Structure 1
Amino acid sequence: MTPTPLLGSRTLDRRTARTLPPGPRWPTLVQTVLFASHRKTFFPRMRARYGDVFTIRLVPSSRVVVVLSRPEHMHEVFRTAPSVMHAGEGNTVLRPIMGDHSLLLIDDEDHARMRRQLMPAFLGNALRGYADMIGELARADVAKWPVGVPFRLHDRMRDLTLEVILQVVFGVTDSDRLAELRPLVDKVVSVSPVIMLGGFYPRLLRFPPWRTYLDVQRRVDEILYAEIAARRKNLAGRNDVLSRLLAAGTWSDTELRDQLVTLLLAGHETTATGLAWAFHELARRPEELRAAQRAADEGDDARLEAITKEALRLHPVVYQVGRRVTETVEIAGYRLPRGTTIMPAMGLLHADNAHYPEPTEFRPDRFLSDNPPSPSTWLPFGGGARRCIGAGFSLLEATEILRAALTHYTLRPTTPTPEKPKPRNVTLVPSQGCTVTATPR
């Protein structure tokens, strides 16, 4: 399939430029730096100045990016045929890391086929089958938390969600293999924006630090391929995601490898960060913490899930998603030409007081009321045919980890002021790592 050319400095004529939504005229590099490093303040300021729909320019090629902030406009994007709204083409920067067959990088029938094969491992009985495994790992980790001294809870969450990926998703349980994988996989998931530039400029991959990163990735691949080969020979009694994928679909080894790495990169940092923000908010609110502890004691999973949902609303881990249009479309009242990048900004939507009264307040009860937020206004996992396939797994994982921690500890913040978000690759994380003190209940 021939990629859709970007609408940018080389393909945008003056007449078309005049029909685009308004936006800043600053140099592309300035806008790119602001987007990469300060999007949680940059986007609200652009919306305040230019309205609900605005245009920015980003590298490469000074590409035209139209940002959306209203739910009805996002719905237009998500309901448009996937063949017209290519998400895979918007994620090409990830290709050297995730591989050609990654669910995040393919479009059209390839995407539909791969998604059909993945879905059985993330629905219904399969999801419920992971709960015990995740709970056991969570309880074992929580038992090792430092007591009475400040520690960075985000780091603990990253370690724990990595362990969930290795054992519950990859199905690796051998202690020696785990000891070898942990430091290697940690380097893979710690990919920096500089490394990701290799997706735009492939010649960089021949030089350090890109070559060094790919060397680590190759060693991880060797281990994954060995696990895939061993699993093909014996699936009996296995309930991990890899085993369920093998049982439910027809895969090449390369396709499986690419999906496993995608699940690793998409499901590790995001879940860990969402949990860190949830604990950060609970630690600062004694009444909410006590309510959460009661929920953990009594098995009130609805409240534990509501805590996660509100944390993801208030602190969007992924602030926006992207689509590249393959033909001229009309979105949000604008006629957008082929090659335009469209960016629904869920972070702007989640902070809109038209949908969330007192949007800066942490209020899990929003999701437990008789009139909870509409699904069209809560989009931390995206929407439409490209909605995150692991959304249910992530919420289940968060519920089990919250339960394990809250039944054991009371948490207190170490500073009087809330932590601000800071960018970490494509996510926004607590600037001080969600530093807390835990005391036994």
Structure 2
Amino acid sequence: MVLRTELAPLPPGPRVPIAVQTVAFGSFRHLVLPVLRRRYGDVISLSLYPERKVVQLANLDHVKTVFGGSVTTFHAGEGNMILKPLMGEHSVLLTDEDVHLRARKLLMPAFHGAALRGYRDMITELTVAEVERWPVHRPFRSHDRMRVLTLEIILRVVFGVTTGPRLDELRPLLNRLLEIGPLDIFGWHNPKLQRFGPWKRNFEVQQRVDELLYAEIAERRRASDLDSRADVLSRLLTVPVDDDRLSDAELRDQLITLLLAGHETTATALAWSFHDLARNPIEHAAALAAADADDEKHLEAIAKEAMRLHPVIGEVARRLTEDIEIGGYRIPAGYTVMPSINMVQLDSAHHPDPLTFRPSRFLDGNSPPPGSWMPFGGGVRRCLGAGFSLLEATIVLREVLTRFQLTPDKAKAEPQRPRHITMVPGRGARVSVSPRRA
């Protein structure tokens, strides 16, 4: 609610230097935040680079207050400003209110309804081509293979084609942009660092990616058959109302957002799915039966449970435009509130035995409490690609599990490790596969 008194205290939190808090949050937040919650409660104040006061929220009712609040008070775009150097100021992730609604309206048709149904054959075709190249009886990093596959899929969705020298160069560069650690993020917001070492190399990669995207946009603008194409870029170039047509800079920002955010979550969720199935014989057998029966609800539940147990993104962010009060604490305008996906999804109050991989949580009317599963965020800013991601995961699981049985390379589960703003399997979700049928 909007604060009406100055008497409420500010949220508590650690007092260590901002650099220490930033590194701890960037590299170990999945370990640090539960400790801070036990010490400070459900509302925790942190200071993070660059010059940002943030408040982590672990209570589901508080999270619902944020997701259900006014978009004029809770600015998601401003909350994601750490991504601005990479995604661009026009990105659907970084804009608010009317500007955001315009971008979302233009992008949404590519990820809903008939468009989703039209992607099934394409996803299946690319998945079959990928898994038929997998080595058998030899451990490999399933996360790497899923990143390759989901990147191919989103390239097809965004550009309509996946061949040509420009896209061949773009693929490895996009992967390099994603191979960014917490310390690399300092270079995003400090031009002086971009003249040195890894920060310089990252900046040069990003510049080359931009050059390739602008070249693709220019070439596509000259195409004479845009009306017959269904890919995202062609759709955006054929918007019927002149006032809504996007500039090259706006197009670039939406394309890079889709390319980077449009495959990473799904790839990581699939890798964790293989990791967990390989270590759980009962769930593995149930998954094989579901794949054989083309039981898409069960296969989707596997992906959902992987996203619950191993959140790819640990929190969502909303920057406040006015003071609010949550949980008895005053949070001033200019602060960023962060509903914690990690703490809510691993809370036994909402998910009994929360550290156990159990897809049945999402089957037979056993869905968790509303709002307690939020890998795609919530409210009006919920990820517009959520349906696409789950469809993609379901198809990939079916194609893999009808062909192979999974075994882990080691019985011990892999730890999480940070990569830029995401958390991924520490050893790449290594598994072995063996053919089910001759």
Both structures adopt the same fold (TM-score exceeding 0.5): yes
Query: What is the CA distance between 1:50 and its match in structure 2?
Result: 1.6
Secondary structure (helix, strand or coil) at the match of 1:173 reads coil
Q: Which whole-Å CA distance do the structure 2 matches of 1:245 and 1:16 have between them?
A: 47
Query: What is the CA distance between 1:17 and its match in structure 2?
Result: 11
Aligned to 1:395: 390
Matches within 5 A, 1:22-421: 22-61=12-51, 63-232=52-221, 233=223, 234-248=225-239, 250-421=245-416
Q: Which whole-Å CA distance do the structure 1 matches of 2:158 and 2:208 have between them?
A: 18
Query: Could you list the per-position Cα deviations for residues 373-400 of structure 1 after superposition, in whole angstroms to 9, with x for gaps in the alignment?
Result: 1331111111112211211111111111
Moved more, 385-394 or 214-223: 214-223
Query: What is the CA distance between 1:345 and its match in structure 2?
Result: 0.4
Q: Which whole-Å CA distance do the structure 2 matches of 1:46 and 1:118 have between them?
A: 38
Query: Which sections of structure 2, spanning at least 5 residues, go unmatched?
Result: none
Q: Are 2:147 and 2:263, in contact at CA under 8 Å, matched by a contact in 1?
A: yes
Query: What is the CA distance between 1:74 and its match in structure 2?
Result: 0.6
Pair 1:439–1:192, CA change in 2 (3 A): same
Q: Are 1:73 and 1:332, in contact at CA under 8 Å, matched by a contact in 2?
A: yes
Query: Could you list the per-position Cα deviations for residues 287-328 of structure 1 after superposition, in whole angstroms to 9, with x for gaps in the alignment?
Result: 211221222222211111110100000111111111211111
Structure 1: which amino acid aligns with 2:170? L
% identical equivalent positions: 56
Secondary structure (helix, strand or coil) at the match of 1:335 reads strand
Query: What is the CA distance between 1:90 and its match in structure 2?
Result: 2.3
Q: Which whole-Å CA distance do the structure 2 matches of 1:192 and 1:265 have between them?
A: 15
Query: Which sections of structure 1, spanning at least 5 residues, go unmatched?
Result: 1-14
Secondary structure (helix, strand or coil) at the match of 2:424 reads strand
Q: Which whole-Å CA distance do the structure 2 matches of 1:361 and 1:283 have between them?
A: 14
Q: CA RMSD in A?
A: 2.1
Pair 1:400–1:409, CA change in 2 (3 A): same
Q: Which whole-Å CA distance do the structure 2 matches of 1:186 and 1:404 have between them?
A: 24
Q: Which whole-Å CA distance do the structure 1 matches of 2:263 and 2:112 have between them?
A: 19
Q: Which whole-Å CA distance do the structure 2 matches of 1:378 and 1:314 have between them?
A: 10
Q: Are 1:77 and 1:331, in contact at CA under 8 Å, matched by a contact in 2?
A: no
Secondary structure (helix, strand or coil) at the match of 2:226 reads coil
Q: Which whole-Å CA distance do the structure 2 matches of 1:57 and 1:236 have between them?
A: 49
Q: Are 1:130 and 1:240, in contact at CA under 8 Å, matched by a contact in 2?
A: no
Q: Which whole-Å CA distance do the structure 1 matches of 2:149 and 2:127 have between them?
A: 7
Of residues 418, 421, 425, the one that matches 1:426 is 421
Q: Which whole-Å CA distance do the structure 1 matches of 2:49 and 2:171 have between them?
A: 34
Secondary structure (helix, strand or coil) at the match of 1:308 reads helix
Pair 1:24–1:219, CA change in 2 (3 A): closer
Q: Which whole-Å CA distance do the structure 2 matches of 1:174 and 1:419 have between them?
A: 35
Structure 1: which amino acid aligns with 2:77? G
Q: Are 1:419 and 1:431, in contact at CA under 8 Å, matched by a contact in 2?
A: yes
Query: Could you list the per-position Cα deviations for residues 404-433 of structure 1 after superposition, in whole angstroms to 9, with x for gaps in the alignment?
Result: 111111010111211111111111111111
Structure 1: which amino acid aligns with 2:89? D
Q: Which whole-Å CA distance do the structure 2 matches of 1:26 and 1:146 have between them?
A: 48
Secondary structure (helix, strand or coil) at the match of 2:102 reads helix
Secondary structure (helix, strand or coil) at the match of 1:438 reads strand
Query: What is the CA distance between 1:371 and its match in structure 2?
Result: 3.5
Q: Which whole-Å CA distance do the structure 2 matches of 1:385 and 1:376 have between them?
A: 13
Pair 1:49–1:199, CA change in 2 (3 A): same
Q: Which whole-Å CA distance do the structure 1 matches of 2:414 and 2:193 have between them?
A: 36
Query: Could you list the per-position Cα deviations for residues 213-253 of structure 1 after superposition, in whole angstroms to 9, with x for gaps in the alignment?
Result: 33333332333233333434222543333233334563222
Q: Are 2:305 and 2:357, in contact at CA under 8 Å, matched by a contact in 1?
A: yes
Query: Could you list the per-position Cα deviations for residues 115-163 of structure 1 after superposition, in whole angstroms to 9, with x for gaps in the alignment?
Result: 1111111111111111211111111000000111111111111111111
Secondary structure (helix, strand or coil) at the match of 1:330 reads strand
Q: Which whole-Å CA distance do the structure 1 matches of 2:273 and 2:427 have between them?
A: 14
Q: Which whole-Å CA distance do the structure 1 matches of 2:402 and 2:342 have between them?
A: 31
Q: Which whole-Å CA distance do the structure 1 matches of 2:7 and 2:187 have between them?
A: 29
Q: Aligned residues, how many?
A: 426
Pair 1:82–1:149, CA change in 2 (3 A): same
Q: Which whole-Å CA distance do the structure 2 matches of 1:83 and 1:289 have between them?
A: 46
Q: Which whole-Å CA distance do the structure 2 matches of 1:95 and 1:191 have between them?
A: 15
Query: What is the CA distance between 1:208 and its match in structure 2?
Result: 4.5
Moved more, 218-227 or 97-106: 218-227
Q: Are 1:273 and 1:317, in contact at CA under 8 Å, matched by a contact in 2?
A: yes
Q: Which whole-Å CA distance do the structure 1 matches of 2:159 and 2:185 have between them?
A: 24
TM-score (norm 2): 0.92
Secondary structure (helix, strand or coil) at the match of 1:268 reads helix
Q: Which whole-Å CA distance do the structure 2 matches of 1:254 and 1:366 have between them?
A: 43
Q: Are 1:157 and 1:276, in contact at CA under 8 Å, matched by a contact in 2?
A: yes
Q: Which whole-Å CA distance do the structure 2 matches of 1:140 and 1:268 have between them?
A: 18
Q: Which whole-Å CA distance do the structure 1 matches of 2:404 and 2:348 have between them?
A: 34
